[in-house]
Structures are given as structure tokens and as C-alpha cells.
Structure 1
Amino acid sequence: MHKSQELHLTRNEAWKLNHQEAVEKVKRFKLPANWEAKASLEYELQEEEKKKKCAAKGEDSERIKLLEISAEDSEKWEMKKGRKNPDLGFSDYAAQLCQHHWLTRQLKPDMETYEKVEKGFRSAYSAALNPSRLHGTHVPSTEEINRMVTDHKSSLKFRLKNETNLAIDDNADIDYVNERHA
């Protein structure tokens, strides 16, 4: 009998908690769409007021802010921060490999020029018998240089075209050096 009464009480408590959460959810849905933005603005204003008060007292506002944070909030923040993958090595390698494949797919080798250069290297290598003397002896042709320049310009055009263009607000403060850094 005692056990059933305990279960009944815990069920009632759970029902009350669920009901309270449902009521809060309904209240949130009834709020205007820009309510969160307004709340963040109010928070920023409160932070500015706290900084001014600390400056008037001659205290460090960051230190005061950190003293006000509870241990639980700090642990939650650290856990959230720790979720990010600190080792980006393999993903960066994969991205670089994809970029390499994309760039080399466009290249079309000139086999005649390659054979000519290779014969020159073979004769120079056999004459010198020291491969370190061959380093830096290759001079690219103007066609190769022009091809590299056009590839670079096309990649710049592609990058600029695919940048995310944010909506420009004429009344907003300018916090960038030039249009490209906007």
C-alpha cells in the first residue's frame, strides 16, 4: 500500500512538471517573432551598464563577470566547448585532396614538351652525375606561365562569385576595411 502511494505521488509530480513545461512552451509560442533579438539587445544593454559600474568603481568587469558565473554553468559551457573536434588534420587533408583533384582535373599535359625536357635532364644528369646540380635549371615557357595566370584568375572569379553576399544595411556601422572584407 505504501509503495503504491509513493508511485501515485511521483506520477502526480511528473504530471505537474509536464504541465508547467507545456504552459511555458505555449507562452513562448505566443511571443512575437523578434522577441529573442529584443532579449539579446536587453542583455547587451545590461552588460554595458555593468561594465560602466565596474569602470566607475575601478574594478575589472571581466573578472566580476566570471565571479558571477556558477560552477554548473561553467561546466556546461566547458562541455559544449569540448564537443568540438580539436583535431582537424584529417578533415583538412580531405578538403585539400578534393581541391587538388579539382585543380589537376583541368590540367592537360603537353607530352612533347615533357619528352624534350626529360631528354635534356637525362643528358645533363649523365654528364654531371650529381642530381643536386639539376635543381632550379628548369625555366617555364611563357605559355605555361600564361596558363597558370588564367587558372588563378578563373579561381578568383569563381571564389568571388560564390561568396555569400550578405544583405547590405546602409544604416549599419562600417566595421570593415574595404568591400571585399565586408
Structure 2
Amino acid sequence: MLKAGTSKSVQEEVTPTASSSKVPSAGSSESSAGPSKTKTGGDLKAERMRKLKDLHLKRNEARKLNHQEVQEEERRAKLPTNFEARKRRAEWILEDEDRRTKCEAEGDDYDRVKLLNVQADELERINRLKARKKNPDEGFSTYEAATARQYKRLVTNMKVDARNYEEEKEALGEEAFYAGKDTLIHGLHKDKPENIDRMVQDLEKQIERREKYSRRRTHNDEADIDYINERNMKFNKKLERFYGQYTSEIKQNLERGTAI
């Protein structure tokens, strides 16, 4: 038979073992529930494939946009350097002509209506820029420079009608409109009467302007030398031109020695 103290100690030893046996059971339940929340190998592979597909699509889209940008850059490189400025200028001319036509239809003075929308300081700035860009006549230097200045002046004074230009281009076609050395254009172009009149008026203005010019006088070796330098020669010529008819008799008397 066991003693009472012995049975009590045995009971105390059995109790902790029972409690310790219950703990693993709870842990085992949690560990069994854990793998159900984690992703399996198939899910991870599917997610990675989806991300890889998205990267491929983005790469193809970037490649397409880069190709389009390269084509646009090549197109801009082939255009003239001042293409954008010329385009804005042409658009402004068309808008200005539309506003002028509208004002004329309403019976208003377009120049006055246009000035009403321009500030005074802005108008002064525009006038200063125009005065600065104005190129005075520098005289004759070479025949090539004179021809270039005349061409530039004629082109500057020429007013281009953009609408008629496009209409004639569409009517003739680009091959005949931009004729080359092998293009037969006889009978295709027909000048309008107003264009012929404008050309005649321009030629008449050129003739009048040319008549005002004076050629450089050649040096006359037999003429009397009454000057000490070129500047004094020009001054004496001016005096002779304005007062020669009044002093001719005095000059003759001085040359004969009969002057009193």
C-alpha cells in the first residue's frame, strides 16, 4: 500500500504532464490552419506570368511611341528652319483678310477698327521695330548686290493671295505648278488682267525711279583745277551750280586781269 504523502506527490507529477499534453494540441491546430492562408506554387507562378505579360505590353507600347516620335522628329528636320514662323504668319494673314472682308461687308474702316484693339505702347514698339528693320538705299556696290537688292525689294512689295495660290495649285496639279526642266507648261498658265496691270505699274515705277539716279561722272583731266581735295571739289561744284550764273562775269574779269 502507498502512503498518503506518496499518492499526493504522484498526483502532482501527473497534473503537469496533462496540461503539457494539451498545449501541443492547440499548437497543432494552429499549425494545421496556417498553410491554408499561404499561396501555393501555382498561384505564385500565375501572378509572375501576369506581371511579365504587363511588362511586355508596356515595353511594346513604349517602343511604338518612340518610333512615332522618331518619325515626327525626322519630318520636322526636313522642314525649313523658319517653317513654324511662316506657318503662323500665313495663318495670321488669312485671319486678317477674313476680318478685313467682314469689316468691308459691314461698311466699317478696317484700319480704324484694328487700331482700336491695339494699345499705344504696343503700337510704339511695333513702329520702332519697323524703323529698325527699314533698310535704306546703300547705293551701288556691285551688279550682283544691286540685282539682289532689287529682287528683295520686288518680293517684299509683292502681295501674295494665299487662296488664289492654293486654287491654282489644285487646278494645275503639283507637277505642272512646280514645273521642272522636263515639264511642258505651255498653255497651262494664263495671267489675269489685274496681274498684268500690276506688273505694268511696277515697271513704270521702276523707270521713274531709275530716271532719278545719276551715274558717276568720270574725271576730266582737261578741266581747271580749282580745288585742293575731293571735298573742296564737291563744294566748288555746288557753289557753281547755285551761284555760277551770277558770278560768271566776275570770274572772267579776274581771269583777264581787268577786274577793278
Classify the TM-score, shorter chain: 0.3 to 0.5
Q: What's the TM-score, normalizing by structure 1? A: 0.34
Q: What's the TM-score, normalizing by structure 2? A: 0.24
Higher Cα radius of gyration? 2
Q: Relative contact order: is structure 1 or structure 2 higher (C-alpha 8 Å, sep ≥ 6)?
A: 2
